[in-house]
Amino acid sequence: MTRIVTVGAAQLGPVTRTETRERVVERMLALLHQGHEARCDVVVFPELALTTFFPRYYLEDRDEIDSWFETEMPSPATKPLFDEAKALGVGFCLGFAELTPDGHRYNSQILVERDGRTVAVFRKVHIPGHEAHEPWRPFQHLERYYFEPGPDGFGVWPAFGGLVGMMICNDRRWPESYRVMGLQGVELILCGYNTPIHYAPDPSQDILQGFHNALVMQSGAYQNGTWVVGVAKAGIEEGVDALGQSCIIAPSGQIVAQAFTTGDELVVARCDLDWCQRYQGTLFDFDRYRRPEVYTRITAQRGVVRPD
């Protein structure tokens, strides 16, 4: 059998600090139209796609902070994207900063079906970076100042004829993210990211950003027999160089499509969800081979506990 979902990874190039959401949505609409021409079922945009990656700035003014967040989705600026996607019959996934009516702030990603129905809103689980201003850094990574960790963990939803999960950027570096979705039978994981090349706490990792990006997503795909789609906001944004290399990875762990620019670029792959069973039903038949009784440490403790 084949269950083909045609996926477009809609990488965005840099978004300047002054660029309006309306202008970014115009760029997204261009990618959406390319996706429609390529017969995409779903087009995936990056993390915090509507604005520059504002956690690089330390801001204290509450109104200024609020200006980076969306209080509703669709918002007035994103409504043209929702409307056009529905008219074209193309689904999409979009990362945005969410301010809830009761005042919670999340780094979120919405999944919308081809008929315009919202499937789910996922809130980033692993929040990287630091909580307080660290002036020694060439730029900040203040996600832990701006966002709470998503309280709901990793879900999987029926969509696009399969089982679809979501994660956001740093979530992709943690094997637990994939496994929690794998245990729900996930077949397609959608992940937006903003990954600065320079990692201030250990610059020796800078040159490895592309390697680590592929390493974690290819491993997660293979070890859970699922498709994984990683989509960057890439290029030099307000002086900070960010990784591109958006890619679509098969359940075999192979990259089947990859961006070659650091600008706005759509990469497309026909993803056969039935290919997941080749892995989920054999080598990674969880029900047959997993040993949860010896993995209890994974949920019982957070940090390392060394033997005496």
Task: Note whether 119 and 160 are within 8 A (CB).
Answer: no
Closest to ligand CDT by CB, 139 or 286 = 139
Q: Which helix (H) or strand (E) holds 147?
A: none
In DSSP terms, 193 is beta-bridged to 232
Please tell me whether residue 105 binds ligand CDT under the rule CB under 6 A: no
98 is catalytic: no
CB of 134 to ligand CDT, least distance (A): 11
Closest to ligand CDT by CB, 35 or 233 = 233
CB of 213 to ligand CDT, least distance (A): 8
238 is catalytic: no
Q: How far is 176 from 47, CA to CA, in rounded Å?
A: 20
Task: Note whether 52 and 236 are within 8 A (CB).
Answer: no
Please tell me whether residue 193 binds ligand CDT under the rule CB under 6 A: yes
Please tell me whether residue 129 binds ligand CDT under the rule CB under 6 A: yes
- Tokens matching residue 231: 């989509």
Closest to ligand CDT by CB, 54 or 160 = 54
Closest to ligand CDT by CB, 202 or 308 = 202
> Strands, E, within the chain: which ranges?
4-11, 42-44, 91-99, 105-112, 118-123, 156-159, 162-168, 188-193, 227-232, 235-237, 240-242, 247-249, 255-258, 265-272
Q: Which of 46, 10, 44, 3 is nearest to 187 (CA)?
A: 3
Closest to ligand CDT by CB, 124 or 273 = 124
Using the contact rule CB under 6 A, the part of the chain among 16-24, 90-98, 156-164, 165-173 near ligand CDT is: 165-173
Please tell me whether residue 170 binds ligand CDT under the rule CB under 6 A: yes
Catalytic residue among 93, 169, 271, 276: 169
Please tell me whether residue 195 binds ligand CDT under the rule CB under 6 A: yes
CB of 20 to ligand CDT, least distance (A): 22
Helices (H) and strands (E) in the chain, counts: 9, 14
Catalytic residue among 70, 98, 113, 124: 124
Q: Which helix (H) or strand (E) holds 181?
A: helix 175-182
Please tell me whether residue 141 binds ligand CDT under the rule CB under 6 A: yes
Q: How far is 67 from 82, CA to CA, in rounded Å?
A: 21
Active-site annotation, residues: 47, 124, 169
Site residues, ligand CDT (CB under 6 A): 47, 128-129, 141, 169-170, 173, 193-195
